[in-house]
Amino acid sequence: MLYSHDTFGLGHLRRSRALAGAITAADPTASALILTGSPVAGRFAFPSRVDHVRLPGVIKRSDGSYASRTMGMSIDETANLRAGLIRSTAEQYDPDVLIVDKEPTGFRGELMPTLDMLKSRGRARLVLGLRDVLDEPEVLAAEWKRKGAIHATESFYDELWVYGLRSIYDPTSGLDLSPAVQARTHWTGYLRRDLGSVGEAPEPPYVLITPGGGGDGAAMVDLVLAAYERDPDLTPRAVLVYGPFLSGETRVAFEARVEQLNGRVTAVGFESEIETLFAGAQGVVCMGGYNTFCEVLSFDKPAVIVPRTTPRLEQWIRASRAEQLGLIAMLDENRDGMTPETMIRAIRSLAQQKPPSAAFTPGLLDGLDYVTHRVAKLLSGTKSEAAE
């Protein structure tokens, strides 16, 4: 069973889906159930023997508070409902392994009753999975202290998996984790995206423009459109994927601008199989989310990353470190400026930019293989065997 709280964006669901697909592909006797709060979970195709349970959704307001997405309940009522659904699902599904994405206690502590129940049963192995970058160390330390996340990590989890390489970045560096927890932390490498069969890509050449889920991607999309508006000779053409959360009046305004560009930019709202577009692209302009970064590496595409800097510095930290290593180029608001001219130069430079493979670190994309190996060890029986 995999848990992802999914209050915003697509990242947690897509990571859980990739993990579940790899685990079930490696073991034909395994099934996987994903618990997710994503409002677009039903728009994804899930691999064989993988299914999902949709938890009532919540949204994050501009002031940082949360509210029920659709049910007209208070946030406390919604969190209690979610907690009950998670616990009852875990009781009936009775997982051998629970993989929790990013939040040790779940959204507003909703996972704690399930962790208590599974720990008391003593059968399931509990794993906390962390992406390569969480936030600035001091900010993360304060957040985990407030949420009781350190205590939960120490008390409940048999293993920690970091979906990256310690040589690139250590997301736990600001956390006061005991030597025992550090000893059971595994650095898996990044989670490779499927390089199997893909659909028919648009006519090349084109640059893929993707803000991920799109909920915070309006500024990047605006800048790309401004670049094509400013320079009528800018090539190649762009294929823009808005993402499911870039909508409303902002989307309507962007559509009108795309129409005026007479085919030099084409746009779609949501592409559940974006791998096809990655495979055919000459290069990529994107934001710096974990899953998009994994796709850039997996499909070995020259990329310009335009990271967000609020509410977390996660994307900026990831992009700046990747740029230092020669994996991608970054458009930094403070260093480069966010102007049409800088975006024009960035898009033009993609044709000469080296692909990420020119700077690959050993083990960089071994994450899914490492995870399936760890799951096999965890399922093999004794804790001593799992500790190998």
Name the token pair of 57. 């959704």
Give me the residues paired with residue 314 across strands: none
Judge whether 137 and 144 are in contact, CB under 8 Å. no
Judge whether 243 and 215 are in contact, CB under 8 Å. yes
List, for residues 347-382, the tens digit of each pLDDT value: 999 999 999 999 999 999 999 999 999 999 999 864
Residue 17: how many other CB atoms lie within 10 Å = 25
Proportion of the chain above pLDDT 90, given as a percent: 78
List, for residues 219-272, the tens digit of each pLDDT value: 999 999 999 999 999 999 999 999 877 878 999 999 999 999 999 999 987 666
Q: Any idea which of 152-156, 194-198, 246-250, 318-322 has the lowest mean pLDDT? A: 194-198
Residue bearing the bigger pLDDT, 272 or 77 = 77
Domains 2-192+366-386 and 206-359 are alike in CATH topology: yes
Look up the CATH architecture of domain 2-192+366-386.
Answer: 3-Layer(aba) Sandwich (3.40)
**pTM of the prediction?**
0.92
- As a CATH number, domain 206-359 is 3.40.50.2000
- Model confidence at 281, in pLDDT bands (50, 70, 90)? very high
Task: Cite the DSSP H helix spans in 126-272.
Answer: 137-147, 149-156, 179-183, 218-230, 248-260
In this prediction, residues 70-85 reach a mean pLDDT of 91
**Domain-by-domain residue ranges, the chain?**
2-192+366-386, 206-359
User: CA 168 to CA 177: how far, in whole Å?
Assistant: 20
Res 385 pLDDT > 50: no
Spell out the residues 6+ positions from residue 176 whose beta carbon is closer than 8 angstroms to its own.
Answer: 141, 150
In this prediction, residues 71-94 reach a mean pLDDT of 94
Residue 325: how many other CB atoms lie within 10 Å = 15
Res 125 pLDDT > 90: yes
- Model confidence at 62, in pLDDT bands (50, 70, 90)? low
Is 217 strand, coil or helix? Answer: coil
pLDDT at site 66:
82
Res 8 pLDDT > 90: no
